[in-house]
Amino acid sequence: MRKGSAMNAHHKPDSAAVLLREDAKGIATLTLNRPQARNPLSEAMLAALSEAFTAIAADRSVKVVVLAAAGPVFSAGHDLKEMTAHRADADRGRAYFTDILGRCSAMMQQITALPQPVIAAVEGTATAAGCQLVASCDLAVAGSEARFCTPGVHIGLFCSTPMVALSRNLSAKHALEMLLLGEMVPASEAARMGLVNRVVPAGEALAEAGRLAAVIASKSPATVKIGKRAFYEQREMGLKAAYDHASAVMVENMLARDAEEGIGAFMEKRAPLWEQS
């Protein structure tokens, strides 16, 4: 088990690292670790997350990822101090804003493209790009005191990039309600809207996310990878194209080693032995 490793320090333990990684039983737990600054998606945090997801994508020992945060705030979104400092640039910050938003969007897409499912464990508040981060994860568990918000409309900066993830998780009216009103949404309402899967007592989100991760980790890694990829691919298609694609994926899945093993084990009433890939 790798405990307390820091993705921006070549896996050497470092309590000052912006992102921590701990591996156990096929589950990699990534912890946003700038609680004093409300865990912003700063340049350093984006780089660390991107590096972590790149490493995990190639790590056959990792079957599930849990994304958590230190302190009372999950993430306050972009580091506005970093961004505002570039208004003094010759182009008023255009190049910097384009770069940082592009890097953030690329990191969010890494989550979707990751072979392993990613589960957010949310305590406290997740606002703006922090809310986007939760919406970008495959599953999300929230503590009962967690709250979610896309407040850009209050400061003249519409949450357009968070909108992409929100509009793919919530109904149009729920997404627009969050984006247009910019109000805090309590965990129970976030669950009703579809932003999180379930709400647990405050302080128990990480434990519940770990429980879900353990269940997923017990499944065939190859099958979970196939299913996650197919889910996101078909979602962007029309109905007929989606069925055609899903059928083709299922044919290939049926011919895969783990499907043969799993079906055989079911018929023989024994536990399956999955291929570790």
Q: Cα 16 from chain centroid?
A: 22
Percent of the chain residues topping a pLDDT of 70: 94
Tens of pLDDT, residues 71-82: 999 999 999 899
Q: What one-letter code names the amino acid at 139?
A: L
222/277 Cα distance (integer angstroms): 6
Confidence of residue 236 (pLDDT cuts 50, 70, 90): very high
What pLDDT, on the 0 to 100 scale, is given for residue 5?
Answer: 52
Q: What one-letter code names the amino acid at 92?
A: R
What pLDDT, on the 0 to 100 scale, is given for residue 180?
Answer: 98
Confidence of residue 275 (pLDDT cuts 50, 70, 90): confident
Tens of pLDDT, residues 182-211: 999 999 999 999 999 999 999 999 999 999
78/80 Cα distance (integer angstroms): 6
